[in-house]
């Protein structure tokens, strides 16, 4: 009788959209964090000051809860415990970032901080001793302050300085690290160069600073990729890419205006960064170049606010990847722009408004809703636009305020992974790995500690920063172990 009921449940689950596909044997699972969000020890043992230290100390009012990452989850001291959490879920890899200022306090190679090198060596060795592969993000937003004082990513000198920094990491860690991410989310980091009140480094140059930053980042990424291939690859043989973020943009209606606004949105928010690297022809997307050039002229500039690549630079950047790193969280409906935003600005250049459907499930973060089918559509877009590259999901996750029994997060992971399997098995998208964001609750930038993204809870009022398993960590562990999405989470699923 019980057996009969169970198979009935499975049948219903199937009707509700649960896929019965299994993850391929070589598919790898892990979890991600970033240095400033978890490490703490902001001025410990020779670490230099970075732009997030500066922003949080000078402008606590820019953070929802007036907080900072001085201690954060204290992972600098608790990394062994973090590795045990990864082991508990059965992770194959851990994606973490290196704090540039911890290794190079001045930002440049004249001072190498041995304590910083030791910390990452210890973390890497602890991971490997527990059967977990390190995936290292070279830059996850915490730019050394002395480099920002010279203009940071808007000054072209940063390209060579970044390559020097990356070389230090390959020399010290490349014998054991086989997965490298040069830059995390240039689309989000470059927002720091558009407004004086917000994201570090908080430079007020909308429609200008962000494009200068993107230009340097793409050149620095490509130069690092070629340097690694030339100087290290024969010995180290690691895989390298960058992590690009994108939501899916669904036209609000089937009107030509809405469909075109969705095309503009994805080309400006993803294509701007991806097209130079992953397309056959390289360079920024034509749609993006043309719009910024025209608007710049209309605004009285003598040249486009988007810098131009030379022919040599276009071919230098094209193809500098071993996989496509994708961070994905949510989907928006898209319609034409909002007349209040005249520019110059990225938003006025894109001329697309982002809205949510009221029926979509809410999350702890008002800027994101739960839309699993959007993930499948985005994976298909990348497959079609860039000739089906191997895609590595470098971040995916949700803010759920519930401290321990995080049923929203369980719903999110099971449904997003289900759509990812559909993209792989029904649509032929080549997805090779998946990192949950995040391993532990952490400092969520301008939201401080008000948004919890962890599989494990961190008590930020406890000096011990005690970690506790949430229910979602058990479900994720089950998925990794069984290589399937448990169907029981689909019974009460709403239409999303
Ligand atoms: C799903 O697949 C598993 C193993 O591949 C199988 O045992 C089970 O019967 C399948 N369930 C459904 C509902 O097809
Ligand atoms: C690099 O990625 C490819 C898949 O794109 C994989 O076959 C290979 O094993 C990876 N190399 C390493 C060192 O992990
Ligand atoms: C747009 O057209 C497609 C295909 O005909 C349809 O599936 C979809 O529901 C339509 N979307 C809207 C918002 O009307
Ligand atoms: C978590 O909450 C769900 C829904 O309210 C409930 O069914 C489940 O028993 C709870 N789990 C635990 C471990 O408390
Ligand atoms: C967090 O730690 C504080 C201090 O140790 C304790 O009073 C509180 O109950 C803890 N909160 C949770 C949710 O465990």
Q: pLDDT digits over 93-117, tens only?
A: 999 999 999 999 999 999 999 999 9
Of 354, 403, 425, the closest CA to residue 23 belongs to 425
**Distance, CA of 355 to CA of 337 (rounded, Å):** 11
Q: pLDDT digits over 440-480, tens only?
A: 999 999 999 999 999 999 999 999 999 999 999 999 999 99
Active-site hit among 395, 403, 419, 478: 395
Is the model's pLDDT at 493 over the cut of 60?
no
Cβ neighbors of 1 (< 8 A, separation 6 or more) are none
CB distance 401 to 366 below 8 Å: no
**Distance, CA of 279 to CA of 483 (rounded, Å):** 32
pLDDT at 342: 84
pLDDT tier at 12 (50, 70, 90 boundaries)? very low
Helix 114-129 with 75-89: angle, nearest 10 deg:
20
Residue 487, domain member (yes or no)? no
Helix 471-482 with 75-89: angle, nearest 10 deg:
50
Residue 137, domain member (yes or no)? yes
Of 436, 423, 329, 425, the closest CA to residue 382 belongs to 423
pLDDT tier at 492 (50, 70, 90 boundaries)? low
Is the model's pLDDT at 428 over the cut of 60?
yes
Q: 395 catalytic, yes or no?
A: yes
pLDDT at 381: 98
Residue 488, domain member (yes or no)? no
Residue nearest to atom 4 of ligand 4 (CA): 407
CA distance to 75, 116, 346, per residue, from 123 (Å):
10, 11, 39
CA dihedral 55, 58, 64, 67 (to 10 degrees): 90
Query: Quick check: CB of 26 below 6 Å from ligand 2?
Result: no
Residue 341, domain member (yes or no)? yes
pLDDT at 213: 98
Residue 490, domain member (yes or no)? no
The token pair that represents 455 in the structure block: 């599989």
Ligand nearest, relative to CA of residue 251? 3
Ligand nearest, relative to CA of residue 406? 4
Cβ neighbors of 415 (< 8 A, separation 6 or more) are 370, 372, 489, 490, 493, 496
Q: What is the DSSP letter of 96?
A: E
Cβ neighbors of 381 (< 8 A, separation 6 or more) are 248, 266
Instruction: Give the torsion sign (CA, 188, 191, 193, 195).
Output: negative
Find the mean pLDDT for residues 131-137: 99
Residue 495, domain member (yes or no)? no
pLDDT at 279: 98
- What percentage of the chain exceeds 70 in pLDDT? 96
CA dihedral 353, 413, 398, 93 (to 10 degrees): -110
pLDDT tier at 139 (50, 70, 90 boundaries)? very high
**Distance, CA of 174 to CA of 296 (rounded, Å):** 43
Question: Under DSSP, is residue 437 helix (H, G, I), strand (E, B) or coil?
Answer: strand
Total number of domains in the chain: 1
pLDDT at 13: 43
pLDDT tier at 360 (50, 70, 90 boundaries)? very high
- What percentage of the chain exceeds 90 in pLDDT? 93
Is the model's pLDDT at 265 over the cut of 50?
yes
**Distance, CA of 434 to CA of 347 (rounded, Å):** 30
- CATH code (residue 55): 3.20.20.80
Residue nearest to atom 4 of ligand 2 (CA): 390
pLDDT at 15: 41
Residue nearest to atom 10 of ligand 3 (CA): 254
CA dihedral 244, 306, 198, 181 (to 10 degrees): 20
Residues in the chain: 496
Nearest atom in ligand 3 to 253's CA: 13
Per the structure, the complete domain to which residue 253 belongs is given by 2-482
pLDDT at 65: 98
Query: Quick check: CB of 405 below 6 Å from ligand 4?
Result: yes
Residue 334, domain member (yes or no)? yes
Residue 123, domain member (yes or no)? yes
Residue nearest to atom 4 of ligand 3 (CA): 254
**Distance, CA of 414 to CA of 476 (rounded, Å):** 8
pLDDT at 16: 73
- Site to probe by mutation for ligand 2, drawn from 239, 319, 393 as the one with most ligand atoms within 8 Å of Cβ, is 239
Pocket of ligand 5 (CB under 6 A): 403, 459, 461-462
């Amino acid at each position: 009788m019980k057996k009969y009921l169970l198979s009935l449940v499975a049948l219903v689950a199937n009707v509700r959209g649960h896929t019965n596909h299994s993850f391929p044997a070589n598919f790898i699972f892990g979890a991600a964090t970033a240095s400033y969000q978890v490490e703490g020890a902001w001025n410990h043992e020779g670490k230099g000051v970075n732009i997030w230290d500066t922003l949080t100390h000078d402008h606590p009012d820019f953070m929802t809860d007036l907080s900072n990452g001085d201690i954060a989850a204290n992972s600098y001291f608790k990394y062994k415990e973090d590795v045990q959490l990864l082991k508990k879920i059965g992770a194959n890899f851990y994606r973490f970032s290196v704090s540039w200022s911890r290794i190079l306090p001045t930002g440049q190679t004249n001072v190498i901080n041995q304590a910083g090198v030791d910390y990452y060596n210890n973390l890497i060795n602890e991971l490997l001793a527990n059967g977990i592969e390190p995936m290292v993000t070279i830059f996850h937003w915490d730019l050394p302050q002395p480099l920002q004082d010279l203009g940071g990513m808007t000054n072209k000198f940063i390209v060579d300085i970044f390559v020097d920094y990356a070389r230090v990491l390959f020399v010290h860690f490349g014998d054991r690290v086989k997965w490298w991410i040069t830059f995390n989310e240039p689309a989000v980091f470059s927002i720091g160069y558009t407004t004086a009140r917000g994201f570090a480094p908080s430079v007020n140059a909308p429609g200008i600073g962000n494009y200068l930053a993107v230009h340097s980042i793409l050149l620095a990424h490509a130069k690092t990729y070629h340097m690694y291939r030339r100087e290290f690859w024969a010995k180290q043989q690691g895989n390298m890419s960058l992590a690009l973020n994108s939501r899916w943009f669904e036209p609000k209606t089937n009107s030509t205006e809405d469909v075109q606004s969705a095309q503009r949105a994805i080309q400006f928010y993803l294509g701007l960064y991806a097209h130079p690297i992953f397309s056959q022809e390289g360079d920024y997307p034509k749609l993006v170049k043309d719009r910024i050039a025209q608007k710049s002229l209309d605004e009285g500039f003598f040249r486009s606010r988007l810098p131009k690549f030379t022919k040599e630079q276009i071919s230098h950047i094209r193809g500098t990847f071993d996989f496509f790193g994708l961070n994905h969280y949510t989907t928006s409906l898209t319609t034409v722009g909002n007349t209040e935003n005249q520019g110059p600005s990225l938003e006025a250049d894109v001329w697309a408004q982002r809205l949510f459907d009221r029926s979509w499930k809410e999350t702890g973060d008002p800027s994101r809703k739960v839309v699993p089918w959007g993930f499948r559509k985005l994976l298909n877009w990348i497959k079609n636009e860039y000739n089906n590259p191997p895609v590595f999901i470098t971040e995916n996750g949700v803010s759920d305020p519930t401290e321990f029994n995080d049923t929203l997060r369980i719903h999110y992971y099971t449904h997003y992974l289900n759509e990812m399997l559909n993209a792989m098995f029904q649509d032929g998208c080549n997805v090779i790995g998946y990192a949950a964001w995040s391993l532990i609750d952490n400092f969520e930038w301008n939201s401080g500690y008000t948004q919890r993204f962890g599989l494990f809870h961190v008590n930020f009022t406890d000096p011990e920063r005690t970690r506790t398993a949430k229910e979602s960590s058990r479900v994720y562990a089950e998925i990794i172990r069984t290589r399937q999405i448990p169907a029981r989470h689909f019974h009460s699923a709403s239409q999303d």
